[in-house]
Amino acid sequence: MKRLLAALMALGLVTLFASIAVTEKSEAAGPTLTQLVEGFKETTVASVSDAIDQVTGQRGFMYHDMRPLFKAKVVGAAVTAMIRPSIKATGPTGPNHSLMAIDEAEPRSVVVIVVEEGLDISGIGGLMATACKARELAGAVIDGAARDVDEIEQLGFPVFCRSITPATSVGRYVSVGRNMPVQCAGVTVSPGDIIVGGTDGVLVVPRQKAAQVLEIAQKIDEKERKMVPMIKELKSILKAVEKFKRL
């Protein structure tokens, strides 16, 4: 009986230590992608931009002309694709990576399509937006133009792009690849990076730095929430900035 009790106690200790090890490993791994996405949804785009500056020392914001077709906010992990003018293509044309990226993307992803030299060429239209909506993607970011704007707005699918045009890419552009790092409106986007977009613009949060960026962005938001009533009361932004060391 004593041996049995000793064995059970030993087993209990082993289970306890194993449980602690799993918990510590989970905590060390940091927040999940879902937790990060939900956190960024609650932050302001401007605060996330400032946080990226602090954490990476590099810009995370895309060119100023990357705008939403209608007022919307989008947050999600990037799935990338790229097309380029057919006159610059080498070798036979392959599959349509933009369509494949949409069909293969996980729900709540953000499809990022680079249309090389494509401000007058649409990288997304009504059919592609319909597919994105059906697959429950979070949104699309197009380094190029969009078309079928009324249809996309009726769908309620968030699309950010740099211009609007009726021109199709079919017959003019060829597919280059998907799920690879791309240069999108001045910023490198790698698959899995977190896209944060709103009326202030579109940001790219490097996946490896996302937890740190989110933490700092949340602190910035909290500080600014406290500054607002002080500014209203004192009718002075200088005094609030002096107190909170924030502008």
Residue 217: C-alpha distances to residues 91, 95, 211, 223 (Å): 46, 40, 10, 10
Round to whole Å and give the CA distance between 216 and 224: 12
Instruction: Give 193 or 8, the one with higher predicted confidence.
Output: 193
pLDDT of 42 strictly over 50: yes
pLDDT at 245: 65
Indicate if the alpha-carbon torsion angle 151, 152, 156, 157 is positive or negative.
positive
Torsion over CA: 147, 153, 154, 155 (sign): positive
Q: What are phi and psi of 32, to 5 degrees?
A: -75, 170
What tens digit of pLDDT does each residue of 142-176 get? 999 999 999 999 999 999 999 999 999 998 999 99
Per-chain mean pLDDT for the chain: 87
What is the average pLDDT across 210-227?
93
For residues 121 and 134, give the distance between their C-alpha atoms in angstroms, rounded to a whole number: 24
CB atoms within 10 A of CB 158: 27
CATH numeric code, 34-208: 3.50.30.40
Read off the pLDDT band of 88 (50, 70, 90).
low
- Is pLDDT above 50 for 26? no
**Has residue 6 got a pLDDT over 60?**
no
pLDDT digits 0-9 by tens, 116-126: 999 999 999 99
- Mean pLDDT, rounded, for 51-72: 97
- Segment of 3-7, 93-97, 226-230, 240-244 carrying the highest mean pLDDT: 226-230
Provide the residue type at 245 as one letter: K
Domain borders along the chain are 34-208
The model's confidence at residue 225, banded by pLDDT at 50, 70 and 90, is confident
d(CA 138, CA 195): 10
Instruction: Name the helix (H) or strand (E) containing 152.
Output: helix 149-155
Asked if pLDDT for residue 8 goes beyond 50, the answer is: no
Query: Is pLDDT above 70 for 207?
Result: yes
What pLDDT does 89 receive? 55
